[in-house]
Structure 1
């Protein structure tokens, strides 16, 4: 069996929205956006969440909503024609994916908003201890994690920023 054609993986608290379609989707040349998120796939508001995200995709991409476990279970069955953009809203889910065998090589960190108990790393990325532990797990699996809000910005290694702001 061939490896799935994962062209981009991004953490964005907002999941699928216009910036993803307009900037990252085109940048990655994806044709399928896989929202890997338990709530969006099976949560009580899944239908509502999915409708909004499908509208944001503008019909330019096939869109799938899988739980983290389903993504782990079925990603190897993806067609070679599928250029997959995996979208998660937190680093713990990405850690679960890579630890579950999903062959992610790079994780782009976009928007993780400030909430009580988090510390600001950059204008668009704030983390707490759970997030830091998840990023460490991801990197331990040989996945590069960089903060980059838009493709024209210079990527910044997440662990170096965490260390600098500690």
Structure 2
């Protein structure tokens, strides 16, 4: 994915917030943050909040999943340092279904909600999330859990198996 401009893909339901805006963006030397999710595209309040949260000097793209796959595969972001953010694994599943060759995903933050179970301090998953993670894993995608760049990554599928 690096040759297509994508430096890191992170699942973080908070999208752009303190850790992302400072630590992750800086450690990746990101030139663009790409938020992928059809729900975000259709939420004008959330889009406005993202535009104000993006760090100075960093470009922002907010795209539907299918459109993101098409633009990335067309080479639109070659030569850039893109940090992709999604709220949940379902958007990554759509990217994979649209031919995006994802190699690695960082699972950052998914809060507790009805029907979810805690697998890490900052990660709670529903059965639908587990199905999506299994799908991604079955497609050869390395799934890691890492809250901040200084933390050692942990194999995410092992966390799922242990619960």
| TM interval, short-chain normalised | over 0.9
Distance in 2 between residues matched to 1:132 and 1:155, nearest whole Å: 19
Deviation at 1:19, TM superposition (A): 1.5
Deviation at 1:106, TM superposition (A): 0.8
**CA-atom RMSD in angstroms:** 1.5
Deviation at 1:3, TM superposition (A): 4.5
Counterpart pick for 1:110 among 103, 108, 111: 108
Give the length in aligned residue pairs: 161
1:18–1:57 contact (8 Å) kept in structure 2: no
TM-score, normalised with respect to structure 2: 0.93
Q: Which residue of 2 aligns with 1:145?
A: 143
Q: Which residue of 2 aligns with 1:68?
A: 65
Q: Which residue of 1 aligns with 2:16?
A: 16
Q: Which residue of 1 aligns with 2:26?
A: 26
**Structure 1, unaligned stretches of length 5 or more?**
none
Distance in 2 between residues matched to 1:12 and 1:54, nearest whole Å: 17
**Structure 2, unaligned stretches of length 5 or more?**
none
Q: Which residue of 2 aligns with 1:164?
A: 162
Residues 83-115 of structure 1: per-residue CA shift (max 9 Å, x gap)? 111110001111211232122211001000011
Show structure 1 runs of 4+ deviating over 2 A: none
Q: Which residue of 2 aligns with 1:51?
A: 48
Deviation at 1:129, TM superposition (A): 0.8
